[in-house]
């Protein structure tokens, strides 16, 4: 309880931090997604229905049941009629098609031929609501065919708005002039567009959502009546969605209405037995009839053509006959909402276990795409709809949120890390470290490596500082020392070195730690740094001489070998540094510059790595305190091909300053 009381006051500040804000947003995406799904928001419906449309398109057209044939009142029929309008000799049946609507005699002849051709059932998606405008005989011709084949024919009916007694809906049935006894099979052709404006559901949904609520007398849907005649043992559909087989004009075998009327074309159709044992749907596909609706495989980028109503009925009949109705995997909205909450929340917690921002993003996007794939497979192969868009979208948003907040946090950490590193690491190395911050943190824990270690110290600095302090020039001393150290650090940084620490007037640096560029290059970088330091000191000495200031001399020692690098110190103060015999030897070698009367000494370990690129003078063996054995030392002169002027100048002036005498040979 005490911890909670301490935590609560800091909560607003925590939420303003990138990490806190990200958790708030992740909770928001998850919660809003779950609530929107549970309450079945219209926008969620639209997204899910659009996903179903895309799933159909990704799946592509598949083979439709061969027992279904569409007899199309199509453009071919209209164009043939127009062709024969001005012809002197023309078939007798053309006159049946010259008016709008057509004479019912044309439908009577077509029905007669379809039945003669062995059609199992014929559904006519044409509304014969009024008596024929061509007289009683026209109706009688169709009525006689309907009477003869009434058990195998379904006529279309429609529920329409009825304003005679206020607002309402009434059933518009075929004209009484076509009524027979026993009554004809009829089915309503109404469909209920979904939230996205497309037809997705079987016509039974119209009955459940519209007719049942109004208490109207219910009749079968057009597709249901056809399927019931084709298979009297048909089971109720397991779901509500139509399983669309493909786009308009390319899915079901389609025959032109003209070809059944034309004797020659009809003979060819008869020879092929096109209609034998087939379910035939007669309906309009020509633009002039405007009998189109938005549906999957229609009015989209991949499938721009519209889908005629008769083909939507054909897909519905095929769905019922093949028991492929698409069902909701989670019919209860609250169950869906709970699923979204648990699923998205669990993925969010799993994502948090990953440490790197791009891994979190990749994991989230992978899970989101994987869930879309599962939804696609369930929809396509199992005819089961799962909530896809909201869970996948929420997971993706969570991943993006993690990525953005992680990136911001990483940038802030890099900025802090940069400020820390730039105190003692060359800018180029800082950049290299910041590319892989995790590697840097592992370096801090300590490891063995090989590197070049450079020590530099001002000759007789204690004497100089005491003298200037006595003359009350302490401020000038500090200023001059800082100027000197700035120049030395710049030389080290430009050569790719890491400034380890300052020990009074001494500087310690490494080359190859924390980032190595290879043994030879690390050693050469140390040599380059030493030569830059020599040149920088020469320039400072010239300036100080003109300013009548004290002139500094320094000594530099370089060694190469194995050492241990890491964060070393107390809990309160840790510093990245290196330790080991290589470091101790480098320090002793720097001190030996006074003995040998030169400014830069390198060990044999260094010389062996750089001998092909430098000029150096072998000085002999040198006993190192605490090391046991003697060490060969070399005076660094210059790079090969360069002038030794700077070396000679510094050596001669240093020797005069030290009143140097050659060491006695043992």
pLDDT tens track for 454-476: 999 998 888 888 877 776 678 88
pLDDT tens track for 188-218: 999 999 999 999 999 988 888 888 877 776 7
Give the separation between CA 318 and CA 243, rounded to whole angstroms.
8
Q: Answer whether 0.75 is exceeded by the pTM.
A: no
Q: Does residue 232 have a cis bond before it (omega within 30 degrees)?
A: no
**Rounded to 5 degrees, what angle do the CA atoms 144, 148, 151 make?**
130
What pLDDT is recorded for position 1?
Answer: 46
Mean pLDDT of 347-357: 84
Q: In angstroms, how far is the first alpha carbon of the chain from the final one?
A: 78
Mean pLDDT, the chain, rounded, equals: 87
Whether the pLDDT of residue 17 is over 70: the answer is no
Cβ neighbours of 56 (radius 10 Å): 25
pLDDT tens track for 604-636: 999 999 999 999 999 998 887 766 778 999 999
| Cβ-Cβ contacts under 8 Å for 163 (sequence gap 6 or more) | none
CB 171 within 8 A of CB 141: no
Whether the pLDDT of residue 20 is over 70: the answer is no
What pLDDT is recorded for position 433?
Answer: 65
Whether the pLDDT of residue 422 is over 90: the answer is no
pLDDT tens track for 94-150: 999 988 899 999 999 999 999 999 999 999 999 999 999 999 999 999 999 999 999
665: pLDDT confidence band, cut at 50, 70 and 90?
A: low
Give percent of the chain above pLDDT 70. 89
* 3-state SS, residue 36: helix
Cβ neighbours of 562 (radius 10 Å): 11
Give the separation between CA 392 and CA 389, rounded to whole angstroms.
5
161: pLDDT confidence band, cut at 50, 70 and 90?
A: confident
């Amino acid at each position: 309880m005490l911890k909670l009381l301490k935590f609560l006051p800091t909560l607003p500040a925590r939420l303003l931090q990138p990490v806190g804000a990200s958790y708030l947003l992740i909770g928001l995406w998850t919660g809003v997604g779950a609530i929107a799904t549970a309450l079945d928001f219209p926008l969620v419906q639209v997204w899910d229905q659009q996903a179903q449309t895309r799933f159909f398109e990704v799946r592509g057209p598949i083979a439709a049941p061969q027992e279904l044939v569409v007899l199309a009142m199509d453009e071919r029929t209209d164009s043939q009629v127009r062709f024969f309008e001005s012809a002197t000799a023309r078939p007798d049946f053309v006159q049946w098609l010259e008016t709008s609507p057509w004479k019912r005699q044309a439908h009577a002849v077509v029905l007669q031929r379809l039945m003669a051709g062995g059609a199992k059932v014929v559904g006519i998606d044409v509304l014969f609501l009024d008596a024929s405008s061509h007289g009683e005989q026209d109706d009688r011709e169709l009525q006689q065919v309907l009477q003869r084949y009434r058990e195998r024919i379904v006529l279309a009916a429609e529920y329409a708005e009825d304003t005679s007694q206020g607002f309402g809906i009434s059933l518009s049935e075929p004209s009484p002039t076509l009524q027979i006894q026993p009554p004809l099979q009829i089915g309503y052709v109404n469909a209920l567009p979904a939230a996205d404006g497309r037809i997705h559901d079987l016509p039974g949904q119209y009955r459940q959502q519209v007719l049942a609520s109004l208490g109207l007398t219910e009749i079968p849907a057009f597709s249901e009546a056809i399927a019931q005649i084709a298979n009297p043992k048909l089971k109720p559909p397991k779901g509500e969605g139509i399983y669309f087989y493909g786009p308009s004009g390319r899915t079901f075998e389609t025959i032109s209405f003209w070809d059944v009327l034309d004797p020659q074309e009809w003979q060819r159709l008869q020879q092929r037995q096109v209609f034998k044992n087939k379910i035939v749907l007669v309906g309009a596909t020509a633009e002039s009839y405007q009998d189109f609706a938005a549906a999957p495989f229609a009015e989209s980028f991949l499938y721009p053509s519209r889908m005629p109503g008769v083909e939507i009925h054909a897909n519905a009949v095929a769905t019922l006959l093949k028991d492929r109705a698409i069902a909701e995997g989670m019919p209860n909205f609250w169950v869906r909402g709970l699923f979204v909450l648990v699923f998205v929340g669990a993925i969010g917690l799993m994502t948090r276990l990953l440490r790197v921002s791009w891994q979190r993003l990749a994991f989230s996007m992978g899970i989101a795409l994987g869930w879309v794939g599962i939804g696609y497979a369930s929809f396509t192969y199992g005819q089961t709809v799962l909530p896809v868009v909201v869970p996948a979208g929420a997971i993706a948003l969570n991943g993006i949120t993690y990525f953005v907040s992680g990136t911001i946090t990483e940038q802030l950490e890099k900025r802090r890390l940069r400020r820390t590193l730039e105190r003692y690491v060359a800018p180029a190395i800082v950049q290299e470290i910041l590319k892989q911050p995790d590697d840097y943190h592992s370096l801090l824990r300590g490891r063995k490596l090989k590197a070049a270690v450079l020590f530099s110290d001002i000759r007789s600095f204690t004497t100089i500082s005491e003298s200037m302090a006595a003359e009350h020039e302490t401020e000038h001393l500090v200023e001059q020392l800082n100027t000197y150290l700035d120049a030395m650090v710049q030389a080290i940084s430009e050569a790719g070195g890491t400034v380890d620490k300052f020990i009074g007037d001494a500087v310690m640096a490494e080359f190859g730690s924390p980032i190595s560029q290879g043994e030879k290059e690390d050693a050469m970088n140390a040599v380059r740094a030493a030569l830059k330091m020599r040149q920088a000191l020469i320039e400072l000495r010239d300036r100080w001489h003109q300013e009548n200031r004290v002139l500094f001399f320094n000594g530099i020692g370089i060694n190469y070998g194995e050492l241990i690098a890491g964060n070393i110190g107390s809990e309160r103060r840790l510093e990245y540094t290196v330790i080991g015999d290589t470091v101790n030897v480098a320090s002793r070698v720097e001190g030996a510059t006074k003995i040998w009367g030169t400014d830069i000494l390198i060990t044999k370990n260094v010389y062996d790595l750089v001998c092909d690129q430098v000029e150096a003078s072998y000085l002999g063996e040198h006993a190192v305190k605490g090391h046991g054995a003697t060490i060969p030392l070399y005076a660094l002169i210059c790079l090969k091909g360069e002038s030794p002027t700077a070396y000679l100048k510094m050596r001669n002036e240093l020797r005069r300053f030290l009143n140097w005498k050659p060491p006695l040979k043992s």
